[in-house]
Structure 1
Amino acid sequence: MNLKQPARAASDETGPTTARSVFMSTYDDNAREQIQASLQRWAMAVRNKDLDAITAYYHPQVVAYDAIIQLQFKGIEAYREHWQHCLGMCQGPMLFEMQDLTIHADGDVAFAHWLNHCGAADESGEMKGSWMRASAGYLLTAEGWKAVHEHFSAPFDMQSGKALFDLKP
């Protein structure tokens, strides 16, 4: 494993699919760039509500811990059903943007973490959303880098047990 010191990279803020404040390790720049491009395609697919493009991002044996509905999802079919349910709850345009993306890659394994601003337009057309924490683990496959693990969560207040959806980075 190459243990070079990570280097801060300038972020490209040319569009809504590009993460801001990107921190990229120097372990494997090519892998990092491929994963970042995959994340950008995935975020665009979510905003476009393109279920096939969303699930193309994942490994068939993905294990996902999403912030809503159930404790975990095992396998692409279970997670695809979950995504379909989530997209069905969002009638208007989607809000799905990443910030503070960090990617580390070495060999055929990588991981990333970021803050994700997600939501949708309400009945009046007003965008409603909250910030979530996200992390993912990737494996390099014959089809490229695939998310084999994903975790979305929101912090919560221990006294009330309520999620803290009003927090901002």
Structure 2
Amino acid sequence: MKQLQDFFTIYKQSAWNKDTESMIALYHDNVVIFDMWNQGYQTGLTDWSNAIKGWLGSLGDEKVNVIFEMTEIHEGKDVGFGSALITYQAISISNTIVRSMKNRVTLGFIKQKDEWKVIHQHTSAPINSNLEGILNF
């Protein structure tokens, strides 16, 4: 990525096209991931690559439409920070939304050799006192 905002476009396109290599290329070799599924915590690009391949490979005929909202980016010389609300929509072969969820994502970026990579990603979904997601509106 030449610019931090490229992350959001590339991630969305990669998910839609089930392009695992393009999505994996967004991340640094030493990435730390705090995710909401399965393990909840992963370190290193090898483990995260396997998670991406497992996710996109499990979709069958479905596509994933990713929508970013409230995107914020803060950039320094070689360190950057981003955050957004992220909606994942599973789209059937008949172009119908079959399920959807909204999360928060926080991203830490590092710049090396004029390329930005995600070094840290934290995904979360707040809940109310009844343990119900409060972003799904």
- Is the pair's TM-score, using the shorter chain for normalization, greater than 0.5? yes
- After superposition, give the CA deviation of every residue in 1:79-119 in whole Å (9 maximum; x if it has no partner): 01111111133221112111110000111111000000113
Q: Which structure: greater strand fraction? A: 2
1:44 aligns with 2:13: yes
> Contact 1:96 / 1:117 at 8 angstroms: preserved in 2?
yes
Corresponding letter in the other structure for 1:115:
L
Corresponding letter in the other structure for 1:136:
L
Equivalent position of 2:86 in the other structure: 116
- 1:35 is paired with a residue of what secondary structure? coil
Please tell me whether Structure 1 or Structure 2 has the larger radius of gyration of its CA atoms. 1
Equivalent position of 1:138 in the other structure: 109
Question: CA 1:38 to 1:123, structure 2 compared with 1: closer, same or farther past 3 Å?
Answer: closer
1:99 aligns with 2:55: no
After TM superposition, give the deviation of residue 38 of structure 1 in Å: 3.1
> Contact 2:79 / 2:108 at 8 angstroms: preserved in 1?
yes
Counterpart-to-counterpart distance in 2, 1:121 and 1:39: 19
Corresponding letter in the other structure for 1:77:
T
> Contact 2:103 / 2:123 at 8 angstroms: preserved in 1?
yes
Counterpart-to-counterpart distance in 2, 1:35 and 1:142: 14
Equivalent position of 2:121 in the other structure: 150
Question: CA 1:106 to 1:136, structure 2 compared with 1: closer, same or farther past 3 Å?
Answer: same
Corresponding letter in the other structure for 2:29:
P
Counterpart-to-counterpart distance in 1, 2:100 and 2:19: 19
Question: CA 1:143 to 1:42, structure 2 compared with 1: closer, same or farther past 3 Å?
Answer: farther
Q: TM-score, normalised by structure 2?
A: 0.87
Q: Which residue of the other structure, out of 13, 26, 31, is the alignment partner of 1:62?
A: 31
1:85 aligns with 2:54: yes
After TM superposition, give the deviation of residue 144 of structure 1 in Å: 0.4
Percent identity at matched positions?
24
Matched residues, number: 135
CA-based RMSD:
2.1
Stretches of structure 1 lacking an aligned partner (at least 5 in a row): 1-30
> Contact 1:90 / 1:121 at 8 angstroms: preserved in 2?
no
Stretches of structure 2 lacking an aligned partner (at least 5 in a row): none
> Contact 1:95 / 1:129 at 8 angstroms: preserved in 2?
no
- After superposition, give the CA deviation of every residue in 1:15-64 in whole Å (9 maximum; x if it has no partner): xxxxxxxxxxxxxxxx9x81102321122111111000000000010000
